[in-house]
Structure 1
Amino acid sequence: MPVIHITHKDTPGTEVFWKLTDAQLRNRLHPAEALVVVESPKVIRTALSAGLQPVALLCEERHLSGDAADIVARLGDIPIYTGPRELLADMTGYTLTRGVLCAMRRPTLPTLDDLCAQSRRLVVIDGVCDTTNIGAMFRSAAALGMDGILLTRDSCDAFNRRSIRVSMGTTFLIPWTWVDDPLKDLRQRGFHTVALALRHDSILLDDPRLAAHTRLALIMGTEGDGLPNDVIDGADDVVRIPMARGIDSLNVAAAMAVACYQLRIKS
């Protein structure tokens, strides 16, 4: 495999790591050429094990025979760009986590029908634009037994570099796809919809009737505004988490983790 020692920011072939925007990486016109950028050795290993195809690696020189040595051995014949830490930080605009970035082919998302057909527990992320929250929500959903995630079109991309890193690569482990009309689409596919919101008519999360549903979709909204009123009004149930000390809400990722644990399929 070619190891290319870079000495300046504009080295040809490195554009994917510093120049391309998220929209350009997604490459809607040519989806087969779309890319994701994966950061840190642990997350790169997860992506490789999930079957992602590597395209190029950017790595601090010291990690080629150190933290990333096993990764380098798995990459095949792709370019590996390397240089000192300061140059790579100047190139990318931030200090690399554990000194390694890998550009990979973007995975193909499942269809809504396929994802729903193999799921009993889904999370719907409605309008969440914070990449850190998206990553944390994916990690919780994967860890707590959810079968898949649906994102509305106004949510941020789960394959955003920061979302991938915060999720610790679980964006590649739990199936997800986009959804246009969550309530209608899920009801047509036999799901009981549950909106997490503070409403006078809400029921408590630990109500045993909720976990008894064979197919259930938990709908989560944005950190500040929460879910739109039409989504809350249209859901089969509105649910709140029992809380103490006058506290009425949690961070959206924390709230989702609590709800996923309570509503998971208990085998």
Structure 2
Amino acid sequence: MSIIELLVKEEGEMQLGELATKLNLPKSGVHRLLGALIAQGWVEQDAQTSAYRLTMRLTILGQSLYNSTGIPDICQPLLDSLARETQEFVRLAVIDAHALVWVADAQGARGGLMYQPRLTTNTVPLHATASGKSWLAKLPRTQVHELIAQNGGFGEPGQFGPNAVHSFDALFEELERTRERGFGTAFSEAEPGVTAVAAAFRSGTSGPPVGTISVAGPTIRMGEMRVAELSRLVIRCAQDLSAIWPIRRRQRFVRQPTSSAA
């Protein structure tokens, strides 16, 4: 799995020596593992360069899993509707183990200044995003400490926007404000010049948090009144998502065949 994750992260071909170095494993062991992955159809080796790369098998299985979640046919219409209403960029993130991961989006802007994320990772920076803060605000402090550590801390200098917090004291102050408002905000935090509003949603009306819905756009058109307006729409969408979650269970229920009359 470490080999597969590394090949995904590098987004291209890698030589045996490079793989072994980055994984801190002996070449002989990595070579044997690559041979097993090739035999199973997960990896292929270029005949000319001898470099290794992933086959399309992982993509196909990932797409099948994504479709089975119900996100494309059940959640996407809600995202599209929110994007049309706000005319901004909308994103859905779900909690996956100890991380928050973006899984779907919708672009509502149709012209002029249009926001497209420059973040290249699907994992949400918890301390620097409206989505991350809206989730963390619902958790005890001890768990917040653990999640920040598991997700790389507060990042390297210059990695995020100028207003991103760099300490737990500042983060907990922001989480308290998020808790009181009922939604998270980020002003030039994950990315310079971008403002975002987000709300967490639950599994049902009383279940645990399972994800977040956010709206983001250029700060130049995100004044106080605009943020207040977007927060109401985001909270409403979060309530709609809570009402349909868990979507996998609903998908299985809908697909059950009905017995015919004798």
> What's the TM-score once normalised by structure 2's chain length?
0.28
Higher relative contact order (CA 8 A, sep 6+): 1
> What's the TM-score once normalised by structure 1's chain length?
0.28
More helix by share: 2
